[in-house]
Amino acid sequence: MSRKILVVEDDRTTADYIVKGLVEAGYNVDRADNGRDGFFLASDGSYDVVVLDRMLPQLDGLAVLAALRAASIETPVIILSALGTADDRITGLTGGADDYLVKPFVFAELLARLQRLARRGNAPAAVETRLVCADLELDLLARRVKRGSMTVALQPLEFRLLEFLMRHPDQVVTRTMVLEGVWDYHFDPGTNIIDVHVSRLRRKIDAGFDKPLLHTVRGAGYRFGPEV
């Protein structure tokens, strides 16, 4: 049976784009263009995933989310928003969202995240506030990184780069993916900006440890995780 998705998005162009892609991927999709209608539809708990904008007319996305959780509706929710600072994302996640994707976005990434949430079914999902890989731990709320017993001090951009890599463990991430996911660049700036920041991050998290976690995949990009 096809998965059932609710898209709550007031921008018609964006909503059309998402709905078209989801229908092509085999989903049954309903849509609402304001928060009040979105809450009304989502409150029956019949959807596998809700894609929720934050800045909505009549009732903003966070209010919709809070009302759903207050009513014990545990449908997985992915926030899709132009509000993309770390504080914005933390507010969304701690407000009850299961995932948070910043606009502009790549549809393939939205689909991948949505599929992951849909597989959970309607089971209650823990809010992800901590990422762990081997002996490296990244605390999204405390903005703290530790490897083993050592605290690692990172600059904000390094923290964001590490978070992006840890959200794709043991996957080859291309330079294009890194530019989109970390810098929000949808073009090649033609600089060595990635090399510089990856080099700095590698020195901070891998120097002095026997087993490096950040690997360069020649001709492809980077992979994060223990050596296979």
User: What does the domain layout of the chain look like in residue ranges?
Assistant: 4-118, 130-224
Q: Which CATH number fits domain 130-224: 3.40.50.720, 1.10.3720.10, 1.10.10.10, 3.30.465.10?
A: 1.10.10.10
Give, for all 228 residues of the chain, the pLDDT tens digit: 578 999 999 999 999 999 988 988 889 999 999 999 999 899 888 899 999 999 999 999 999 999 888 888 889 999 999 998 988 988 899 888 999 999 998 888 899 999 888 887 645 555 578 899 999 999 988 899 999 999 999 999 999 999 999 988 888 888 888 887 888 776 777 788 889 999 999 999 999 899 999 999 988 889 999 986
Identify the CATH number of the domain defined by range 4-118. 3.40.50.2300
**Which amino acid type is present at position 167?**
R
Distance, in Å, from the CA atom of 92 to the CA atom of 101, rounded to the nearest integer, reads: 10
User: Would 4-118 and 130-224 be classified into the same CATH topology?
Assistant: no
Distance, in Å, from the CA atom of 180 to the CA atom of 135, rounded to the nearest integer, reads: 27
How many CB atoms sit inside 10 A of residue 36's CB?
A: 15
Sheet architecture: strand order including 144-147: 130-133, 136-139, 144-147, 150-152
State the pLDDT at residue 167: 87
